[in-house]
Structure 1
């Protein structure tokens, strides 16, 4: 819907309030300038939710696993949404089926407001061409909807199967119901004209008494039959397809707990029909008997490239019970002559002889030609892009250096001394090679949403969601139907550059502190290489005569000479975007004035390499500072400046208060940090804490960042679920990181957050936060942490709903009150 692959003419409705709220405007997250922002029916919805609907025609059968809904806000001009709704679907456009979940519930909980997108998993999924969304209300009210569908094209082509309904087994006093409980066709003597559990993409467990789905009855995942009810010794199933196909095999998932009288079928015999009569000969197959393992398994029945539009298979019992949970066909589209005369002459139906009307299946040839044409087009496009970029780079190289410097509102430099370090070992020092793709502190809007440029399948997170193995259901690997971003539980954030977002925010940062001075490069002495990023390096240096560059408040604190400082440099070969970002970071940091934020002291921008000089406290970062300490016994005095190795709870809370104060200042300016952690906080005299952003550059903390397929590196153990899955960074996601930072402080950084989980398990845990089924894992309460701080503050920082998390102003007030009670 959002991506436009579903055209306007394929979206219809029972009615519309006006032309500006027609069905074509019911696309999720897409406010059309010609419309009022959603589909709205022309009359108020009724409680039964059956009269008004928004219909989508997918043009072919699709396997749909997820739907999304949103209301109408029209940039603040509307506030209509559907609190609840139903879904009905059809495969042929005439016979409609109402969807219900595995417990029989038909009504789906929808939106709570007009803005947020609400996603709902369809369990069981539906196979349909037409889908209708029908709003439901408790009382008559006006509703509007925008919708989205997620899934993939149903390449099996199976439109219905017919079979005897399953039986009831009594095992050791337990009632085991083996019926097809989600079948959507008719159920008289046989199940007919529908699909159900055999095509829901979920196969049963080894023990059929247990289920993939919580709260379901024993045997739920299987459809099963008792041998005593079939005198002929077999169960007959009929499968109908959308058109004539060339079948290679059928795969049947069978239970094999032979100790309970359940076994894989002894023989399968399949008949084929392309017209009105069954063709001969049938195909028979007998699987190998396996009495060594009771594991459920797929049994592949080869079909010998036979063509048909209907297949009838008879599965013969090998034991008292036979249990199936999934059936999948491997086939390709084909058009063959199926005339009765050809069969009577003895010609095989898949090789018509001397038939001028026969059409050879050249689908593979067409696919090959199409691929070659696509590859050539892609190569030509790449060549054009490369050529165009080279032309522009040459033009930019000729531009004056002043064009870049004009972005600053004051001239930053007056001196031209070359930057030189007094230590000749600079070039020989090693450092982290981790790419600094994570942005530094910069302004963002209060509810800023990253652009949807997601990389698919975040760290194998979707593996557990795939319905069958690659060989069985590679044709069912689902994606968004209508293009655009992938479903949230299949997404990965691609971090954008500072330049792409800073100009769109409510705070304009086109000012610059004109008091920022150019520092003589020759007065910087190299001490240590802290790290190396994609476009520059971070050095720990000593700066001589820095007191002349300090403000009054800083000069009182730093009386020593030389002064320890951190120097960020930009490589001379950095591209234009990196250079612009560096200058913008200087411009932004020059405006920050808070006792708990690292201060930009001076710059070196008159000549390359560009440098910024910031504070660096003598006690280093908070992570290493706390790691060396320990909590005292009740009789041990607390930490005091001067070399003690213990620290008490009140001092730890004072550190947390300082960090909260600094973050309160940043949030008041709509600044989003994105990487708040103890490694990014520096410790000065008397345990003064200042927030910085050096942690990522340090090789020491490489293990705190997770590299995604060689691309972005993310501090996933500190990130909120919406930052990982949706790429959304706001003050609320910084609040989540603060909760983890507070946990670090109260555990003295002895362990990494979620140390018992691997990186992949941490990502899976964020998926549990998204699903919100009570299975998410929280960081445990530190031993020195009071229950009130953990329950009321720390856990509130990790609430699923970002809007329910406290603000930094509230966090700072809460911590201050807790500190005063000590």
Structure 2
């Protein structure tokens, strides 16, 4: 269900490089000048002014392009423009352009081919996933045409080879897009994938994109196991259209391996210090496919194999059929080659991706220039760390000052002090106070400014909504906008969860309609019980928790929107204090979607209930509508996720807040030392690093929630990353050096919706869309 991410660990600091076809798309330096003239060569040229160095995309130097000297015979493939990238790169995209030269030139390549090499001696012809070599090029001399390389290539040298005929001369300007290949893997030697027959249908599990030679019924070089594409849960299906069943996986049957294992040998560019290996495996046990039972790995550091291997046995899973990464610790072995034996645990074993992580620098002499660059990077990193420490210390001092002010007996003094900062009621933030808040009203609501908040501990241990302090005059009175409800009319059904100060129960309520506002009605018959969620404060809760619980009731009683869970009534006459809220019969969105499948072959084969894309979009639109309402009141949710959205009839969605209290979702929260438990995989970088929670950070969380929805909640966001690596990734957003990792585009997700997600994760909070804009975009997008 995911695009695979390649990881490489640098010993000097815990920063991870990830490569994927979704995010590894940066220009490699033809147009930007990072690729030097001496690294660009060609088979021939018209003249000095059409030499290879002029073949840079979007440049008009010389005569405006590289042009080969002789058109040659039809289908001539001898002419080429060659680029030396100096090191291996993961190349996902190419761009071409013709010669315009201010209107003087009109030469371009209508079609071309690509060859590539990792060592400069063995050249490989690129083919797409259907086996086609010829790439459609330009139709005029000036437009840039970009083409995805599917599959991507791993190469140091790349040649653009125009297909030349007698009808016209050709000239080319080009660019390569991708990332440096830090995995270090240069080849693997694996047995040929095999065929499976499933109800009369042939499933081809061969390594269809390998670029090496076939030696003794095995493949030698690189291919499907390093193409950046993870297989789907159902191996019959594929991310790629117009390919055969089984395309995503390389698979073997135990009947062909009397030894009980499949052996794969991996060769690397140099000796490395290996920390882990990740293997993406299929686990559709209902079809006799499982992850490997055990793996035994041998290491070669120089010319000899070490006698003692390492062995690892993963926990077998006969409950969840989802494909998954299995992480194998390699215990910091030094090696230039690794040979692993993967043991069968059932009839079939299928892999779609294998990646390695190493924890050191290259073991060879580093020249002085590299040393200077490394020292410069370290100095820059130290300055960044010092700046972060200064910011953190400044915030701590500032917060202590605020706490002293808030402890003053006269609340009037508190507000007077804030008025000197010229604060207006704006979007809440956990940063204590902004000295120069900015407001840019949109649809009547301020946009992303910051102000103090009131933290409500509540039942779950975290606040329901972060409420601007200056709106707390709403809470000064004793009135509550809901009725007292008799406890005797509540019947306990089950405990939904518990938090630091209380519990959340699912109950049945009798005669609830008699205690409700006239503007609210249940979709039930008269005298019929309704399901409600009851937040109950523990009798031994401290005074602060009790006060916060009362404030939460007052706030919740004023939230009235069709996509926000409604406070129905309270039990305040005696302890324990209770608030009674709506509960939707289909539970939370996370569990609801995880029980369903998208419409298609996998649902037909598994007989699973389905949800259409139009219904997914409808649910996402409702979440955006509810958040638009909250943002119009300057409230910040701080924990928006599918676990906090409840599902009713006809895919009705209402936003709630008690997901944090459920043990089921304890893995979604991470305790940072000295701070609260935080849902870091849904949080913006500024929320994690700077403690700032604003409407803009809610927008970030909405993007993650939308991603969850379109993946049917089959995996946790950033499932390939540990919690620590998620936090490290926020540092990349802070540094903004294009090394940050984004969630990949879900298979069901249209480009326009993924573009919306990416805008929600913009580094600059002010450039993220408002919920008004998000709601409008979702309404306008046609399913």
Taking structure 1 as the reference length, the TM-score comes to: 0.46
Taking structure 2 as the reference length, the TM-score comes to: 0.48
